[in-house]
Amino acid sequence: MALDSMREICEKAEQGQKPFWRVVLETDIEEREVTEEASMEKMRFTWKAMLESVENYREDRRSVSGLVGGDGQKMRDYAKNGTPLCGEYLREVIATALCVGESNACMCKIVAAPTAGACGVIPAVLVPLYKSGNAGEEEILQALYAASGIGAVIAYRACIAGAAGGCQAEIGAASAMAAGALTALHGGTPEQISHAVAMALKNLMGLVCDPIAGLVEVPCVKRNVIGAVNAVSCADMALAGITSRVPVDQVIDCMGEVGRRMPVEFRETALGGLATTPFGKSVKEQLESKNG
């Protein structure tokens, strides 16, 4: 997309006296040569698919390795019947992130946001607000435009693939997108959105991509939880008036730089990190003997 910095989006918002999300929408209209209705319709389709990815969760599904499945339901049950430390919203955020991450590992339909491995983060923060009636569909779609504009800038300046920049580029990017979306949804200014994005990305900087047996299962599913919870805290900090001392575009560039200098063992190759723990290696061996 033709938006190559957060600063550019903020300046366009200020000059045109329009919200952050509208700058992204108008860029999409211009670039893909579509009408506003057509763009909105596609975003609505994307949102519906996200909602379905949460609703279609089933606790009895298991992933290829058998390591993943059922945790989303455990968290849902505990949220309902237990005494969670988290408040009502945050416990739903955790459960939703697990449900969508597990569904992805079990070959169900999800929305890559920005990748399949990080698909749980954005639905985790938005779907509970929608279901509890605290956000309507129009507001959600606007928040998704904000999220996608942020993701486009990160993709342009840094990267959004674990193979290119580690988990910080997948869960980190998703978390930044979610933080910006939540800030926009709660009436934050473009400046506040930028601070939320910067803080979210900084908090996950350096996170490696180390999937056991190379599968999008362990630790990916639970990393969706930290991405989502981090987004909520960063959005609240930004809305409280707390600022990132390092400007957002510099943080994004820095994430890209950390990614480029990250050893290849920590970039989705399954040659380091949790993948090469004794447990990680044993899972890989078991799978190999099973597949011949």
Partner 1 sequence: MLDIFDILGPVMVGPSSSHTAGAVRIGSMARTLLGSTPVEADIGLHGSFAETGQGHGTDRALVAGLLGMRPDDMHIPRSFEIAEERGLRFSFRKLQLRDAHPNTAVLTVKDAEGKELVVQAASLGGGRIRVDKINGVDVNFTGAYNTLIVRHKDVAGELSRITNELAVGGVNIANMSVFRDRRGGDVLTVIETDQKLKPDVRERIRIIYAVNDVTYYEKEDA
Give the residue, chosen from 69, 123, 128, 151, that forms a contact with partner 1 under the rule CB under 8 A. Answer: 151
Output the smallest distance, CB 25 to partner 1, in A.
9
Does 117 bind partner 1 (CB under 8 A)? Our answer is yes
| C-alpha–C-alpha distance, residues 135 and 129, integer Å | 6
- Mark residue 282 as left, alpha or beta (left: phi above 0; alpha: psi -120 to 50; beta: remaining): alpha
| CB 169 within 8 Å of CB 260 | no
Nearer to partner 1, 114 or 172 (CB): 114
Does 113 bind partner 1 (CB under 8 A)? Our answer is yes
Of 11-19, 23-31, 131-139, 234-242, which segment contacts partner 1 by CB under 8 A? Answer: 23-31
Structure-block tokens of residue 191: 């400046």
Helix (H, G, I), strand (E, B) or coil at 209: strand
Of residues 130-149, those binding partner 1 (CB under 8 A): 144-145, 147-149
Nearer to partner 1, 7 or 44 (CB): 44
Structure-block tokens of residue 186: 């709660």
- Mark residue 253 as left, alpha or beta (left: phi above 0; alpha: psi -120 to 50; beta: remaining): alpha
Per-residue b/e over 53-63, b at no fewer than 16 CB within 10 Å? Answer: bbeebeeebeb
Of 12-20, 84-92, 154-162, 245-253, which segment contacts partner 1 by CB under 8 A? Answer: 154-162
Rule CB under 8 A: which residues touch partner 1? 1, 24, 27-28, 31-33, 42-43, 45-46, 49, 63-65, 103-117, 119, 122, 144-145, 147-149, 151-152, 155-156, 160-161, 163-164, 177, 213-217, 269-270, 287, 291
